[in-house]
Structure 1
Amino acid sequence: MNTNAITAKKSLVRVKEKIVMGLKVMDFIQHGTESSLEIVTPLGQRLNFKSNFIGFDEHQHIFFTMPLLSRAEYVEFFMEGFNVNIEGISEQGEGALVRFRTRIEHIIYKPINLLVFTVPQQAKLVLLRNETRYELQLQGNIQLSNRKLRVVLTNVSSGGCGYSYEAISPDFDIDQRIVLEVINSTNKNAYALSGIVRNGKKKLGKQTYGIVYDDPGQVNCRRLLSALMYDGTKYVFINPKQNHALAGL
């Protein structure tokens, strides 16, 4: 891998926890993802439920869907000013558990049900993965029984990778063996990332899966990483012309 990529790797500090401030917290929670919420009353009573993160605005508001609860629970726990602990999963980078405390600012029932919280001053990120995961957006293919499925390789690590595609079908089974082939359009080199499916989810018409490599998949992942460079936001294939031009400076 070139110098840019090596430098980017070394700059990733392996810490288990870190603090994120203000609106930056929202960058770590993907719209539409499910989070765990806990309302804490002034008397210390607690109510736990699931809700989907909708988004935020420039006025320091964050929005979540209203859960399906009993009328008694709404009366007892849904009061403006009550504290709320929120916990969600961030899929970025190494993956992290996002935890923060906020408070209920508005409870909206009409024209739609909506929970409005204030943006927290800070949040704690607890890293989940033991290996660095690198963000990508590379086109790939998975050979099915009757056709090739076009997918996007979204991230890679030394032990596995993630991919997604915008389609209702097909579905992949947990522990199903697949081969995700990525081809460098510049030199036509192919990288077969083989392994088994470990997890999957559907959201807004997009399917997302994660696989764990087998031995050949790990070898090809190392080959792939050696052909990539960091462009400031994600990893892309090294451009030989660009490297040649830089060498002449």
Structure 2
Amino acid sequence: MPIKEQLNAIEKNQEAIALAVTHAVLKLGVATLVRVHIQTPTKALFRFNGLLIGSDGQRFCYLQLPKLSAQQKKQYFGAGYRLRLHGVSADGSLIRFGGKVQGLMEAHHTLLCVELARDGASATPLRQDKRFNVELSAALSIDGKASVPVTIHDLSVGGCLFSYRAIGLQIDTEQNATLSLTGISASQALTMSGVILSHRLKGERYHCGLKFDDRAKSQSAWLVTNLDYDGEQYRLSIPHNDGEVTSSLT
């Protein structure tokens, strides 16, 4: 099922929480990939992926647009055109809110200024399973490219949140990705695959949400059952076949 259909199905089956639109923008954070739907007065619909780069905390938010033709900008970005925006927050919620096109700013990148709607913002949890705070080292592979080191910060049976240094690798939502735990013996190698649901810049690191596919869930379930709590966070303790704990990953 395509990601758009998955998100729509989740929103129908899970309870959406109403929240102030300014709060919705803050939950998405800075440098977050979002999906935007613009409707013209003639009911034409234009969809694209943009980068939420911030807001004034009151009436407006700002998006970096992809490369668009002059004709597309003229046809679909008229002042006052209504739009809907959705993205996935760091806590794994689908955030949706509306607004109107205020105007375009042309510089090195094209920026869209959006006047926020006063109501209609919502947050719908995407991950209902219990999450465990961890610090696990892994290698990330996307589309056959060379792997990069990442840190997994929270883990559940259905997915995880990981981060990597903001250099080199380009990641988009809806891309397939694979995480392989590092620092464990080859006989205990664990690889989990899935699809990227969120991607945002926080400080000097990108933070990404990964939704595991059905095959990976058996691996993540095994990981969860082998987590030990040390009073601050969960650590992975991998036993020999006889049950003896031999190592602890941080």
Q: Give the TM-score band, short-chain normalised.
A: 0.5 to 0.7
SS of equivalent residue, structure 1 residue 35: strand
Cα distance in 2 for partners of 1:143, 1:80 equals: 45
Aligned to 2:55: 56
Instruction: Report the counterpart of residue 81 of structure 2 in structure 1.
Output: 82
* Other structure's SS at 2:87 match: strand
User: Judging changes above 3 Å, is the alpha-carbon distance between structure 1 residues 131 and 193 closer, same or farther for their aligned structure 2 residues?
Assistant: farther
Contact 1:154 1:161 in 2 (8 A): yes
* 199, 220, 224: which one aligns with 1:221: 224
Question: 1:222 is matched by which residue type in structure 2?
Answer: T
Cα distance, 1:193 vs. partner? 9.3
- CA 1:111/1:160 → structure 2, altered by over 3 Å: closer, same or farther? closer
Residue 34 of structure 1 corresponds to which residue in structure 2? 33
Q: What secondary structure, in the 3-state scheme, does the structure 2 residue paired with 1:58 have?
A: coil
Shift of 1:60: 2.5
When residues 181 and 164 of structure 1 are mapped into structure 2, their CA distance, relative to the original with a 3 A threshold, is farther
Q: Residue 115 in 1 paired to residue 115 in 2?
A: no
Q: Structure 1 159/112 Cα, relative in aligned 2: closer, same or farther at 3 Å?
A: closer
Structure-2 separation of matches of 1:111 and 1:177: 34
How far apart, in 2, do the equivalents of 1:143 and 1:18 lie? Answer: 35
> C-alpha displacement at 1:62, in angstroms?
0.5
Is the contact made by 1:64 and 1:115 (CA closer than 8 Å) also made in structure 2?
A: yes
Letter in 2 for 1:218: A
Q: What is the TM-score when the length of structure 1 is the normalising length?
A: 0.61
Q: Which runs of 5+ in 1 are unaligned?
A: 1-13, 183-191, 230-234, 239-249
After TM superposition, give the deviation of residue 117 of structure 1 in Å: 0.9
**Number of the residue aligned with 1:153:** 152
1:243 corresponds in structure 2 to none
Q: CA deviation at 1:34?
A: 2.2
Q: How far is the alpha carbon of 1:86 from its aligned partner?
A: 1.1
Structure 2 unaligned blocks of 5 or more: 1-12, 141-147, 236-250
* CA displacement, residues 90-133 of structure 1 (integer Å, 9 cap, x when unaligned): 341xx232221101123212475211112333412233334243
Query: What corresponds to 1:44 in structure 2?
Result: 43
**In structure 2, how many angstroms separate the alpha carbons of the residues matched to 1:179 and 1:88?**
28
Query: 1:195–1:213: 8 Å Cα contact kept in structure 2?
Result: no
Aligned equivalent of 2:102, options 101, 105, 119 = 105
- Larger deviation, residues 151-160 vs 59-68: 151-160
| 2:123 equivalent in structure 1 | 125
Greater C-alpha Rg: 1
Q: Deviations over 1:216-239 (max 9, x none)?
A: x53442342x5166xxxxx7369x
Comparing 205-214 with 116-125, which one deviates more in the overlay?
205-214
Does the residue aligned with 1:73 lie in a helix, a strand or coil? helix
Q: Could you tell me which residue of structure 1 aligns to residue 4 of structure 2?
A: none
1:198 matched to 2:198? The reply is: no
Whole-angstrom distance in 1 between the partners of 2:74 and 2:117: 25
Distance in 2 separating the partners of 1:105 and 1:113: 13
Equivalent position SS for 2:66:
coil
Number of residue pairs aligned between Structure 1 and Structure 2? 200
Q: Which residue of 2 aligns with 1:139?
A: 135
Contact 2:64 2:109 in 1 (8 A): no
Could you tell me whether the CA contact under 8 Å between 1:108 and 1:115 is conserved in 2? Answer: yes
TM-score under structure 2 length normalisation: 0.61
C-alpha change, 1:24 and 1:99, in structure 2 (3 Å) is: same
